[in-house]
Amino acid sequence: MAIKEMTYREAVRQAMVDEMERDPNVFLMGEDIGRYQGTFRVTQGLFNQFKQVRVLDTPITEPGIVGLATGAAMVGLRPIVEMMTMSFSILALDQIINHSAKVHYMTAGQACVPLVIRGPGGAANQLSAQHSHSMEGWYAHVPGLKVVAPAFPADAYGMLKTAVRDDNPVIFTEHPTLYGVKGEVPVDMDYLVPFGKANIVRQGSDISLIAYSKMVHVCLEAAEKLAGEGIQAEVVDVRSLLPLDVETIYASVRRTHRAVVVYEDWRSGGFGAEIAARIGEDCFDDLDAPVGRVGGLNVPMPYARVLELQCIPNADDVIAAVRKAGL
Residues known to be catalytic: 62, 131
d(CA 139, CA 147): 7
Q: Are strands 199-202 and 78-82 parallel, antiparallel or unpaired?
A: unpaired
Would residue 155 be called left, alpha or beta, if left means φ above 0 and alpha means ψ between -120 and 50 degrees?
A: alpha
Q: Which segments of the chain does DSSP mark as H helices, in order?
A: 8-22, 46-54, 62-74, 93, 103-106, 136-139, 153-165, 214-227, 246-256, 271-282, 305-311, 315-324
Amino acid in position 32 = D
Cβ atoms within 10 Å of 177's Cβ, excluding its own: 17
What is the rounded distance in angstroms from the CA atom of residue 88 to the CA atom of residue 138?
Answer: 13
Sheet holding 146-148, edge to edge: 55-57, 26-30, 78-82, 116-120, 170-174, 146-148, 240-242
* CA 28 to each of CA 13, 52, 117, 118, 146: distance values in angstroms, whole numbers, following the listed order: 11, 9, 10, 10, 19
CB 276 within 8 A of CB 184: no
The number of residues in the chain equals: 327
Rounded-to-integer distance, Cα 107 and Cα 109, Å: 5
Q: Exposed, middle or buried by CB within 10 Å (0-12, 13-18, 19+), for 174?
A: buried
